[in-house]
Structure 1
Amino acid sequence: MRREQQTVTGKTERVNPLWTLTATEIAALVRGRQVSAREVASAALARLDAVNPAINAVVACRPGEVLAAADATDARIAAGGDPGPLAGVPVTIKVNIDQKGHATTNGLRANRDLVADGNSPVVDNLRVAGATILGRTNTPAFSMRWFTDNQLHGRTLNPRDASVTPGGSSGGAAAAVAAGIGPIAHGNDIGGSLRYPAYACGVHGLRPTPGRIAAFNGTAPTEPSIGAQLMSVQGPIARCMSDLRLALAAMSAPDARDPWWVPAPLGGPDFPRRAALCVRPDGLETEPEVEAALRAASARLVDDGWQVDEVDALPPLREMVSLQLILMFGGDDIRAVRSAVYREGDPGAINTIERVVSKLKDGPSLADVSSAFRLRAAALRKWLQYLETWPAVLMPVSSRPPLPQDFDLQGLHNGNLTSEAQLTQVSLPVLGLPALAVAVRDPEKIPSGVQVVASRFREDILLAAGHSITGQDTPILPVTPFDA
């Protein structure tokens, strides 16, 4: 098995080491008995051991559990059973959802002993699909920052460039996939937490429609706020569209614990291959590198038969940013949230909550929340009508290339620049629309990417556009980090 620990360019007995393969390729090999799930798991563990110390993407891994799960898959195959569509595929789980026997830390010292006695729906669904859970990935404290660092697990580094953020809050998930620690990672997104890490690490991240993937944490002391219920989603990060599609199907299985789950089909009616390109939505000051990525993606769509129309304006986005805070904290005592953040003492979380408090003061009133719902409905109506003409909309993930580490902590000006850059990430969850971050990367430079938006439950349109942008779904190769 030592051959599986070599780099992509190294000489091995196998043309492609197992850890470089896509989930689609691995599942086909395991189902066809060309390789065992244990071999795949052993290769994934070896890769984790080789590169994770340099980036700290995975913060908990129990090799015995990993190998036992792989052996169970092999036994099922030997007995003639169906091992599932993700047979033997190593998958990581973000440390803010429940996995039986593991702490749901959410990056908090206060939660270091909050051990789950059951799995979240996502974990159960992935296991039923045959996936091998490889480990748990890092998140910032409270999962509410675009940088991944906390006082319990430490800082996660971007495997492509340690000087820039791996994104947040699913920074550990994206860094793991980029470095070849499993071809699929679970993450979640309430304001960019799947899309920005994928963008920063040069991989792909899918934010599904709310209700598509069931969610529930038995360790949570209360039900989520109404804003979280409306906007928070679970989803996958991967190195190709085929793997995102495979993961989405597995994660979307029903679970009665989530009353918001919707039995929506994974594919919809035929649609015109027509997209709108907006480089500067709502006056966003998009930097040249980001604009270049958008135009490259647009050209690839055209080359694959899409009609792309450049537009100067889109339905409302900027207005949704203020609504996000109102819906997130409406009905909650913002002072109590602030107190919890200060008890944890994490500098990044304190900086974030102080920015929230400065905008909301004592918290939104019932009238504020009611008004937010009316404004949201009006904006969503405009978006749904717009998407009937252009089924896909191409826009920035962020107006800037991936930000330097701790950029948000370096004064009020940089904090404001950080928030402004992420306009599209924050606004789309308020509308409940699905979105896809697609890597468009020059291998010699810091990663860049684009965001595609579609109508509700039309993830199939997003993946079709992503397939075209990535050159008929050419997988991104894992990178070996700087110090590994």
Structure 2
Amino acid sequence: MSDTSLWRLSAAETAARTTSGDITAEAAIGASIDRMEAVNPRLNAVVESLADEARARARALDKARASGAPCGPLHGVPVTIKINVDQTGHATSNGVTAFKDLIAPGDAPIVDNLHAAGAVVIGRTNTPEFSFRADTDNPLFGRTHNPWGDHISSGGSTGGGGAAVMAGIGALAHGNDIGGSLRFPSAANGAVTVKPGLGRVPAYNPSQTGERGILAQAMSVQGLITRSARDLHLSMPTAITPDPRDPFHIPLPWRGAPLEGPITVGFTKETYEFDLHPEVSLALDAARDALNDAGYNVVEIDPPLLRDAGMEGYRALMGEVLALMGPDIRAHGSDTVQAIFDEYFRQFAPYEGLELMQMMAKRTHYARVWSLFLEEYPLVIAPFLPQPFFAPDRDTEGAEGVREVLGSALWSYAMNFMGLPAACVPTRLADLPNGPQPINVQIIARRWREDLAVDACIAIEDRLGQMCDPLWAQMEKHGA
């Protein structure tokens, strides 16, 4: 492989080669920066290039290795960081013009952990205003485009990270997820992720002036997006490294105890009142068949209380958002995002007062029901969205637009409300009238068993391939 194509390497391949001395960190990072500079002008995925400091850090890593210093597990791996977490000396704008000069005085735990493992941050990626849309556009930096084409949204809120990693800008992309913000962009771009469960990855922004609401603390998690499922096993042990600034972090190892015998996997195509698209149905079939072929025991299930958990959970979150974020959205949000929030509040009528307290308490009921259910079915294959991923700005198109984008995502935000791990993996490339696009499915796991979900993603990927391969072939055909 030539130095100019080193950007194609997975995180695991990059770390192995930089650690062995087969290639230098400077070469790996240089190739990724060159790729960023070649494709990012069209995508607008990275909105702050850190090329100069990344090259300097790569040279320092090479010098340390040459002097005999041990290499971290992500030695020389290029990564991107989402602009809603703190990175020393850089703005944590969260896509909001009023926050463009909010310079971080220190690093968030996820940034510290990646640095300590030897990763190199090459840029910061785009997010919608307040990181609260499933599409990525904002008045400060503009729209992030999907590398598959402008017929598909790049997803959100980690749209910049999802587009970047699939286009070859870094092997890993940091993101976070309060209702689907790791999984939406993975589904949009054909990437792989696992939304960690509650308490798995430490979180804190040194720039913050107050604490987040209790539901935001319970539902929001930090994570990583990649194009190779195996890279999650490499990188997530770094992400979960404890940090005392998060007092509720759970310091468990990444790998849990092996399960005896073939793992039983629940399988469902249930989408409730939303129509299941034939391509999504085929993608679910592909995941089922791949896991059966890999030795899993896949059986049909009737998922308990999923719709109730999703809708009541999101209405509770909207109640907290209305009370705690509402003033900032009104003061600093664009007309576009204010209209979208107005529709959120119509479709997910916010619980307030006593009702909000009751629904926050009821969260434990749903989590308990699913905890018992997952004793019998340690993994569950389910839809992520009932339809192929939507077009850009779909959520600006009134009630029907918001219903398609977020209303139908019951399988997404229910997992946040219950704090369960949920992976998202592509299993089909659909040939649709507006152009090709990936279709992802969701794999839900027992609490604390993100590793089982990633194992299943690897089994699927081994049989169906990585979605970056047809994407890069398409991009090369069009001169990227």
TM-score for the superposition, normalised by structure 2: 0.93
What is the CA–CA distance in structure 2 between the aligned matches of 1:240 and 1:134, rounded to whole Å? 19
What is the CA–CA distance in structure 1 between the aligned matches of 2:71 and 2:430, rounded to whole Å? 36
Q: How does 1:112-261 map to 2 (within 5 A)?
A: 112-261=100-249
Matched residue of 2:428: which SS? coil
Q: Does residue 402 of structure 2 align to residue 411 of structure 1? A: no
The aligned amino acid for 1:453 is: I
Change (3 A) 1:281 1:391: farther
What is the CA–CA distance in structure 2 between the aligned matches of 1:289 and 1:360, rounded to whole Å? 28
CA contact (8 A) 1:148 1:155 kept: yes
What is the CA–CA distance in structure 2 between the aligned matches of 1:423 and 1:483, rounded to whole Å? 38
Matched residue of 2:340: which SS? helix
From 454, 467, 481, the equivalent of 2:445 is 454
Aligned pairs, number: 469
From 84, 98, 111, the equivalent of 1:96 is 84
From 437, 455, 459, the equivalent of 2:424 is 437
Change (3 A) 1:303 1:362: closer
Which sections of structure 1, spanning at least 5 residues, go unmatched?
A: 6-16
- Residue 68 of structure 1 aligns with which residue? 56
Q: Identical aligned pairs, as a percentage?
A: 38
1:329 Cα deviation from its structure 2 partner: 4.9
What is the CA–CA distance in structure 1 between the aligned matches of 2:407 and 2:350, rounded to whole Å? 23
1:358 Cα deviation from its structure 2 partner: 2.9
The aligned amino acid for 1:368 is: E
The aligned amino acid for 1:374 is: A
CA contact (8 A) 1:207 1:435 kept: yes
1:68 Cα deviation from its structure 2 partner: 1.2
Tell me whether 110-119 or 466-475 shows the greater mean CA deviation: 466-475
1:348 Cα deviation from its structure 2 partner: 4.0
- Residue 306 of structure 1 aligns with which residue? 296
Change (3 A) 1:374 1:156: same
Change (3 A) 1:252 1:345: closer
From 246, 265, 269, the equivalent of 1:275 is 265
The aligned amino acid for 1:68 is: A
Change (3 A) 1:360 1:427: closer
What is the CA–CA distance in structure 1 between the aligned matches of 2:89 and 2:393, rounded to whole Å? 33
From 325, 328, 339, the equivalent of 1:351 is 339
What is the CA–CA distance in structure 2 between the aligned matches of 1:18 and 1:170, rounded to whole Å? 24
1:266 Cα deviation from its structure 2 partner: 1.1
What is the CA–CA distance in structure 1 between the aligned matches of 2:132 and 2:240, rounded to whole Å? 24
- Residue 461 of structure 2 aligns with which residue? 470
Which sections of structure 2, spanning at least 5 residues, go unmatched?
A: none
CA contact (8 A) 2:12 2:230 kept: yes
Q: Deviations over 1:257-290 (max 9, x none)?
A: 0011101121122224111110014454221111
Change (3 A) 1:301 1:383: same
From 75, 78, 85, the equivalent of 1:87 is 75
CA contact (8 A) 1:103 1:115 kept: yes
Q: How does 1:289-328 map to 2 (within 5 A)?
A: 289-311=279-301, 313-328=302-317
Tell me whether 50-59 or 318-327 shows the greater mean CA deviation: 318-327
Q: Deviations over 1:5-24 (max 9, x none)?
A: 4xxxxxxxxxxx20001000
RMSD: 2.0
Change (3 A) 1:240 1:331: closer
What is the CA–CA distance in structure 1 between the aligned matches of 2:271 and 2:265, rounded to whole Å? 15
Matched residue of 1:188: which SS? strand
- Residue 407 of structure 2 aligns with which residue? 420
From 364, 369, 377, the equivalent of 1:382 is 369
The aligned amino acid for 2:352 is: P
What is the CA–CA distance in structure 2 between the aligned matches of 1:362 and 1:133, rounded to whole Å? 38
What is the CA–CA distance in structure 2 between the aligned matches of 1:284 and 1:278, rounded to whole Å? 14
Tell me whether 236-245 or 368-377 shows the greater mean CA deviation: 368-377
TM-score for the superposition, normalised by structure 1: 0.92
